[in-house]
Structure 1
Amino acid sequence: MQGIERIKQPIAEDIQAFEKNFKASMHSDAPLLDRITHYIVKQKGKQVRPMFVFFAAKLCGGISESTHRGASLVELLHTATLVHDDVVDNAYERRGFFSINALWKNKIAVLVGDYLLAKGLLLSVNNNEHRLLKIVSEAVKQMSEGELLQIEKVRRMDISEDLYFDVIRQKTASLIASCCACGAASAGADEETVEKMRYFGELVGIAFQIKDDTFDFGTDDVGKPLGIDIKEKKVTLPLIYALNRADRADKRRIINLVKNHREEPAKIHEIIDFVNHMQGVRYANEKMQAYQEQAFEILATFPAGEARTGLEELVRYTTERKK
């Protein structure tokens, strides 16, 4: 699997320019707000989302100023949703850093999320990027609906495989889909091509989330704490498959454990052992590979070249990672 820095090379200058523009786009004259946004910028990850935007644009006609605005728009609105999510989840850490609500409390965190959302809207409206704004706003709407759907169903432990895919399509895949659609739209692609790239991103996002969900049941240090989804009572594909294969007594016993484990290590490990015994992770990995292959089939309809290769490697990086 290729390292992210090597994959980034064909668009390295664009990523550097993006980082500078993104930092500038978050600036505020309010000292507290500026201090908080500076803290957010310091936590930047691997820049996978902007990479999808830039490679998609490169594939569909070329990177432009509109592409740079699209990358900043996606990242602003995504960052706003993360800040709000941490408040909703009472999460005090993100990527090894304290969350905004942990350092500055919930009220300030909510206002910071609102500020980032407004900055994204203004970036679009002031530059007449209505096409990009529509794409990203649709993704944010879907992310909210997916989160609410999951909350509603988790309470009742009523999640089928079809419902699981509906949730991750909205919660996770919609964002990567919007990155690819924004990239294509910023390059002046027609609606059919934009939709093709949106669907490509959706497939990648689904594969990404399935892979992430398998880490909960691993045995190695994969960067994500073992059993974290179980502790939060999230029902993911490996668990759904295992429960569907179990007899009635085992199914009832495991569901009761998921509902009432009280984060006791022995009970968490009992659930993990059950899922692995029932081949839940193996099944999830097979599903992940099927979505990955569908994404590669879409890419194969575009001309070979640096952009297509970059996207292929980026897909492998996001879906075959160890953490």
Structure 2
Amino acid sequence: MSTTLGSLRRLVLAPSLEEVAFRARGFPGASSEHAARLEAVPQSVVCGFEWGIDSRDGWEVERRLGFVNPALRGFAHEGAVMAFTIRDVVGRGTRVRDLLTGSGADHLFVAYIGIGFAMARLPRGLWRKVVPDLSGSPYHPVVSWLAVDGYGFDLAYFHTRTWVDEQRVPAPYPWQGRADYFPRAVDQGIGRALWFIHGARCAEVAAAVRRFAPARRADLWSGVGLAATFAGGGTPAELAALTGAAGEHRAELALGAVFAAKARIHAGFVPEHSTIAVDAFTGGTPQAAVELVDATAGGLDESGPVPPYETWRSRIRAHFSGARRGTPT
């Protein structure tokens, strides 16, 4: 059941389904043959947000999320978590924690992205409150960097001229005490957004990455790999060509793919397009990707100069860099 206050919040904060469509945003990928399929992703986020911002209790939201097509259910969770984060931070409550320790636990990875969407609508002074205590999860707080990734995606998707065309670099923020890594995690989200902005047209996505400064391209490519694998789009031949276009950053493309496979398997549903992309980018299966993610997750040093999240990523990256050189992995 919705509330009057919730309806007002929805009217103020939620874009319409049309507003997130590629043509309405002026994206070059609006005419892509993959556009309709990809537009269902942000539209699912909007639906989840509307349910989360307008509801009286979490049970109703969870029921609604359960009716969403499994291929899109994670994206609807992103929207619901975005709404719950805003409500928890601005008001009071434990909505996000309750969802992610309950029925939404399987969607933990993408849920962090929803927190990042909320960050894009909250002042930085409130960011310290956005991540709930999920200490019972083996992935918390290491993968909470995906919230910064989500923040970067939101910036690029809704403010494309500034963050993609003009390539603005975000001001550092001490996320997990590592302010210097913050812009890199934002770039990972911008890379994901490029996949949508260009409608999964692989040649155009590759050209868009190359327009950024060389130092930013590795993180952008990992974002592209994650988006292509999790959201879909692109034929097997096109995805194979994208691997070639990534050149020296093929390992980053594979890195994004294996994290996407981990998120899909964790949620209990792996669509065909994810299997195809994992094969194109890594030469393996989603299950093999997950085994690699899990095998490289141990012994992460939380006190070192590098965030444990990036240490984890670097181990996966090294696996694929070694495989390209023909060394044992």
Give the structure-2-normalised TM-score.
0.28
Richer in helix (by share): 1
Instruction: Report which structure shows greater RCO (CA 8 Å, sep ≥6).
Output: 1
Q: TM-score, normalised by structure 1?
A: 0.29
Q: Over alpha carbons, which structure has the higher Rg?
A: 1
